[in-house]
Amino acid sequence: MKQLQVDFPQELAFLLHMNEVEFSYEIKKIALIKLYELGKVSSGKAASLLGVTKIAFIDILNQYQVSIFEDLDTSELQEELNKARKTGLHKK
């Protein structure tokens, strides 16, 4: 994995009550949320890069008020529902 160095005011992490490791993870999380929102990465890929399950990433999206349904048309929504049923994520 490639590392990226980002300069930020030390006080920013302090204001957010985070140490450097927590702040780094938060920035990575926010970047992946935005990339997902822009349609640049899938929820599965973003989850994998963040080191969480897809369900956990969807929960994170909800916490940041990012809809997983915003850009889906009816057929895409039905396809996602069918996928969830096949993987046991949806109970009848």
Cα within 13 Å of Cα(36), Cβ side: 28
* 1, part of any domain: no
* 2, part of any domain: no
Residue 86: the pLDDT is: 78
* 57, part of any domain: yes
Cβ-defined contacts of 40-45 (< 8 Å, 24+): 43/68
* 33, part of any domain: yes
Q: How many domains does the chain have?
A: 1
Contact between 6 and 26 (Cβ < 8 Å): no
* 60, part of any domain: yes
If you count DSSP H runs as helices and E runs as strands, how many of each does the chain have, helices first?
5, 0
Contact between 68 and 61 (Cβ < 8 Å): yes
Structural domain that includes position 36? 10-86
Answer whether 0.75 is exceeded by the pTM: no
* 30, part of any domain: yes
What pLDDT digit, counting tens, does each position of 50-66 carry? 999 999 999 999 999 99
Residue 71: the pLDDT is: 59
Q: What residues in the chain have per-residue pLDDT under 70?
A: 70-74, 76-77, 88-92
